[in-house]
Chain A
Amino acid sequence: MSSATLEREPKTHHKPAALTEAIYTICPVLVASHIAVHKGWLERELKKAKGSLKYLWSLPQENWLSHFNHTLPNQFRDGGNIPAIHARSEGQRTKLIGLTFSNDGGQILARVGSGINKVADLNGRKIGLYQRVKTDRVDFWRATAQRGILLALDLAGLKREVEIVDLPVDGPDYYSSAPTQNSAERFGVAANGANNHYGAEIDALLAGKVDAIYANRGRAHLFQRDGKVKAIEDLGRYPDWTLQVANSPFTITVSEELANDHPEIVIAYLRAAIHAGRWIETNQDEAAEIFGGIISQWTGKCQLKSELAKYHFVPNLSPKNLAGIDVEKQFLLDQGYLRKDFDVTQWADSHFLEEALKSL
């Protein structure tokens, strides 16, 4: 696994009007930032701090890679930890300002009627693993699945008895080349339709090319709707929290330049995220509806609501979540996704979170 290389000089075409204009980007995962945006709280808080806000994906396409590589000097990013860890390892000057734990872990899927009922039954069989051909960014999709597969094999006492089959995919890079104004617009329709290059694994499973694949809980749920596949393992059902480190704990990161020059903007972001996190915990019905427009893998509000009940949405930098980042980083180092190690405690800066909590 070769690690993606980032160019020293960030290729950013978007020139910020002022540094107080913050760019934000959020992965399609269950984090409070989505609610903060939807409710207008993020914009309101930034405005109070004399800042302004732009959605990364509303800019021209040449800026979009910064979602993964964090090359923009004024960017907030909330979501999967693998690109955030990778960007930091490559020397991007970012600060880790918040974390939220996901208890997903992911599942192993097999075909209905395959006679495969547990991971141990995969002895001598094939597991499909997504592989991104381009190397302009870290292959977080592969890394997440690879970790889940290796853990599932460990739990079943299997090692090399299973063949892991690479499923190479070469683009398209994005659902659409058209800019979008927010996450709901970006993910609401396109995520599971045509042009979804993350369909390689399920296609290979359904075609019989492989006997099992990895999928996160939402996708596993979606894939099972047709009755053709079934989950034979769920890493989220174990008491061991390290099994649930799967591109998570989710990271909120910010460009160091913005954080140094305008800490008030960073505090404003976190105020909105904390407020949203607390709100979700007492308004799960409405939160499920909002998330439903962004994460469309769940059938209906009820399913998503029961999913929300398993999460804690208020960002923190707890020892356990920080240890989770260490667990993920170690895996990425061991498997060659990272070229350089770094100290997570140096990356995390709790100052902004403390200020935000104090001000609320």
Chain B
Amino acid sequence: MSSILEVAPVHGSARKAPRSVTEVYYTICPVFNAANVAVELGWLDEEFKKVNAKAVYLRSLPDNKGWIPHYTHSLLNLFRDGGAIPTIQAKADLADTKLIGLTGTQSGGQILVRAQSDLWRVADLKGRKIGLNRSLNKDKIDFVRGTAERGILNALALSGMKRADVQIVDLDDADDHRFEPASKPSELWSQNSGRRLATGSAEVRALKEGVVDAIYSHAGRSQTLVETGEFKVIEDLNNHPDWTLRVANGPITAAVNTQFAEEHAEVVVAYLRAAIRAGRWINANREAAAAILHRVTFYPTVAATARAIAGFDFIPNLSPKNLAGVEIEKNFLRDHGYLKKDFDVKAWADSRFLQEATDGLQGQ
């Protein structure tokens, strides 16, 4: 990771940019958040320009060098906006960051089986095999497994079952993906790796070939798989009134390095201004937002994306409920061996930047 730190321009670096411009990296997961739209609408660049900052997409680094830091937050001047699991692990064990915004747009996930199987409910999985992803890449957290493991255990609990009532089968995944450099997220995902990776994964192959009887699947991927006619969903954790079942690599977290935030509060505020503006715009323009979000996420169509985002509030916040969601996710990871150290979520969250960004946008 040290080589990456060397190529990373430190803010205010005289070599890369003349004095006043602060270069800062950002990286965004393929999830439903306002930052993805702020980038596409040019509002991130616009807000950064106002404070003499320049946003550099982490994945524009050559030789796949932006990939691992996307998970480990190993740069000194990085905004990471996306799935909660890597953000939480980075905070716990790897990097000193601040939590600056949350978005509650994740979906709980589903249990997928073969369409022709005689399985109608999770209770029918008693004694059967459920596949669980296992990444062989030790340089990053296995967030796929962390998400699926929580979803599977929740689905079993809803059916009055425990882990021991089924056979959890580890399915190894090399997890050594390479991407071409991209100037922004939509360019990265247009390499089409996301959808293909999701539907051709070891879990899906194992289910298709009968190695396992069920897998956990994110709703976006499920839709694509269900459309083939080969699979069906027997449990949807979104169908329950319990919101904690929807904590699945979520809530969506925006985090930034602590030292950078302290030295460049104006850049953090600018980031959130762009995100809040985009969030308001998404809330008021769902159809158009779906068309943009479709380019950076994995639901099969624009219409499916529109259905998936209906009703969500995209304006980043640090609401008690979203913070409680992070706490639930963190505790799950801690209790299941994904984290080495625990930490205090409330102390991690710093609402000053969000407050200032919101205040600055009053009347706009």
Across the interface, name the chain B residue whose C-beta is closest to A151.
Answer: B120
Bound CA–CA A242/B119 (angstroms) = 11
Bound CA–CA A151/B226 (angstroms) = 19
Q: Does B3 contact A (CB under 8 A)?
A: no
Q: Which of B123, B226, B228 contacts A157 (CB 8 A)?
A: B123
A239 touches B239 (CB 8 A): yes
Q: Does A322 contact B (CB under 8 A)?
A: yes
Residues of B within 8 Å of A243, CB to CB, are 120
The interface stretch among A1-9, A32-40, A313-321 is A313-321
Across the interface, name the chain B residue whose C-beta is closest to A325.
Answer: B229
Q: Does A327 contact B (CB under 8 A)?
A: yes
Across the interface, name the chain B residue whose C-beta is closest to A157.
Answer: B123
- Interface band, chain A: 20 to 34
Q: Does A154 contact B (CB under 8 A)?
A: yes
Q: Does A311 contact B (CB under 8 A)?
A: no
Q: Does A226 contact B (CB under 8 A)?
A: no
Bound CA–CA A263/B245 (angstroms) = 52
Residues of B within 8 Å of A154, CB to CB, are 118, 120
Q: Does B232 contact A (CB under 8 A)?
A: yes
A319 touches B235 (CB 8 A): no
Q: Which of A151, A319, A330 contacts B229 (CB 8 A)?
A: A319
Across the interface, name the chain B residue whose C-beta is closest to A237.
Answer: B239
Given A323-B115, A327-B115: A241 and B120 interface contact (C-beta under 8 Å): no
Q: Does B227 contact A (CB under 8 A)?
A: yes
Given A151-B120, A157-B123, A327-B116: A242 and B232 interface contact (C-beta under 8 Å): yes
Given A321-B229, A323-B115: A239 and B236 interface contact (C-beta under 8 Å): yes
Bound CA–CA A155/B118 (angstroms) = 11
Residues of A within 8 Å of B163, CB to CB, are none
Across the interface, name the chain B residue whose C-beta is closest to A281.
Answer: B303
Chain A 306-338 near chain B by CB (<8 Å), digits 1 or 0: 000000000000111111101100100000000
Within 8 A of B (CB), among A93-141: none
Q: Does A170 contact B (CB under 8 A)?
A: no
B229 touches A239 (CB 8 A): no
Chain B 183-226 near chain A by CB (<8 Å), digits 1 or 0: 00000000000000000000000000000000000000000001
Bound CA–CA A350/B229 (angstroms) = 17
B229 touches A323 (CB 8 A): yes
Within 8 A of B (CB), among A178-230: none
Bound CA–CA A242/B229 (angstroms) = 9
Chain A 134-158 near chain B by CB (<8 Å), digits 1 or 0: 0000000000000000010011010
B229 touches A240 (CB 8 A): no
B228 touches A239 (CB 8 A): no
Bound CA–CA A327/B114 (angstroms) = 12
Bound CA–CA A171/B227 (angstroms) = 40
Q: How far is the CB of A351 from chain B (nearest CB, A)?
A: 20
Across the interface, name the chain B residue whose C-beta is closest to A243.
Answer: B120
Within 8 A of A (CB), among B88-117: 110, 115-116
Q: Does B230 contact A (CB under 8 A)?
A: yes
Bound CA–CA A330/B117 (angstroms) = 12
Residues of A within 8 Å of B232, CB to CB, are 239-242
B120 touches A155 (CB 8 A): yes
**What total of chain B residues lie within 8 Å of the partner, measured CB to CB?**
18
B226 touches A241 (CB 8 A): yes
Q: Which of A237, A240, A326, A327 contacts B234 (CB 8 A)?
A: A240
Q: Does B340 contact A (CB under 8 A)?
A: no
Given A319-B228, A320-B227, A323-B229: A239 and B120 interface contact (C-beta under 8 Å): no
Bound CA–CA A130/B305 (angstroms) = 42
Bound CA–CA A318/B224 (angstroms) = 12
Q: Does B233 contact A (CB under 8 A)?
A: yes
Bound CA–CA A157/B124 (angstroms) = 9
Bound CA–CA A157/B119 (angstroms) = 11
Chain B 328-339 near chain A by CB (<8 Å), digits 1 or 0: 000000000000
Residues of A within 8 Å of B227, CB to CB, are 318-320
Given A151-B120, A239-B110: A323 and B234 interface contact (C-beta under 8 Å): no
Across the interface, name the chain A residue whose C-beta is closest to B111.
Answer: A239
Bound CA–CA A151/B227 (angstroms) = 22
Q: How far is the CB of B258 from chain A (nearest CB, A)?
A: 42
Q: Which of A157, A237, A238, A323 contacts B230 (CB 8 A)?
A: A323
Q: How far is the CB of A321 from chain B (nearest CB, A)?
A: 7
Q: Does B121 contact A (CB under 8 A)?
A: yes
Q: How far is the CB of A105 from chain B (nearest CB, A)?
A: 12
B123 touches A239 (CB 8 A): no
Given A154-B120, A239-B239, A243-B120: A320 and B234 interface contact (C-beta under 8 Å): no
B229 touches A324 (CB 8 A): yes
Bound CA–CA A237/B229 (angstroms) = 19
Chain B 113-157 near chain A by CB (<8 Å), digits 1 or 0: 001101011010000000000000000000000000000000000
Across the interface, name the chain A residue whose C-beta is closest to B228.
Answer: A319
Q: How far is the CB of A234 from chain B (nearest CB, A)?
A: 12
Bound CA–CA A154/B110 (angstroms) = 20
Q: How far is the CB of B218 from chain A (nearest CB, A)?
A: 13
Across the interface, name the chain A residue whose C-beta is closest to B234.
Answer: A240
Residues of B within 8 Å of A238, CB to CB, are 234
Across the interface, name the chain A residue whose C-beta is closest to B121.
Answer: A155
Bound CA–CA A57/B110 (angstroms) = 46
Interface residue ranges, A against B (CB under 8 Å): 151, 154-155, 157, 237-243, 318-324, 326-327, 330
- CB-based closest 5 A-B pairs: A323-B229, A239-B233, A239-B236, A319-B229, A320-B229
Query: 20 A-B contacts, Cβ less than 8 Å apart?
Result: A151-B120, A154-B118, A155-B120, A155-B121, A237-B239, A238-B234, A239-B110, A239-B234, A239-B235, A239-B236, A240-B233, A241-B115, A241-B233, A242-B232, A243-B120, A319-B227, A319-B230, A324-B229, A327-B116, A330-B116
| Supplied contacts A240-B120, A241-B232, A326-B116, 16 more A-B pairs, CB within 8 Å | A154-B120, A237-B239, A239-B232, A239-B235, A239-B239, A240-B232, A240-B234, A241-B226, A242-B232, A243-B120, A318-B227, A318-B229, A319-B227, A319-B230, A323-B228, A323-B230
